Amino acid sequence: MNRDVPTDPGQQRQALSALMDGDGSAADDALRGWRDDARARADWHAYHLIGELMRSDDVQCAPLHDAQFLSGLRVRLALEPVVLAPAALTRPDASARPGRSSRTWVRSMAVAAGFAAVAGVLVVMRPGGPEGAAQDRSPLLANQGVAPSASAAAPGTEGRLIRSAELDRYLAAHRQYNNTSALAAPGGVLRNAAATAPGR
- SS3 sequence, the chain? CCCCCCCCHHHHHHHHHHHHCCCCCCHHHHHHHHHHCHHHHHHHHHHHHHHHHHHCCCCCCCHHHHHHHHHHHHHHHHHCCCCCCCHHHCCHHHCCCCCCCHHHHHHHHHHHHHHHHHHHHCCECCCCCCCCCCCCCCCCECCCCCCHHHHHHCCCCCCCCCCCHHHHHHHHHHHCCHHHCCCCCCHHHHHHCCCCCCCC
- Smallest gap from Cβ 48 to another protein, in A, equals 8
The stretch near another protein (CB under 8 A) out of 22-30, 77-85, 105-113, 169-177 is 169-177
What is the size of the binding site for another protein (CB under 8 A)?
Answer: 63
Q: Is residue 53 a contact point for another protein (CB under 8 A)?
A: no
Q: Is residue 181 a contact point for another protein (CB under 8 A)?
A: yes
Q: Is residue 190 a contact point for another protein (CB under 8 A)?
A: yes
Q: Is residue 116 a contact point for another protein (CB under 8 A)?
A: no
Q: Is residue 171 a contact point for another protein (CB under 8 A)?
A: yes
- Smallest gap from Cβ 93 to another protein, in A, equals 29
Of 78 and 161, the one with the shorter C-beta distance to another protein is 161
Binding site for another protein (CB under 8 A): 57-58, 60-61, 66, 69-70, 118, 120-122, 127-131, 133, 143-146, 150, 154-163, 167, 169-171, 173-174, 176-200
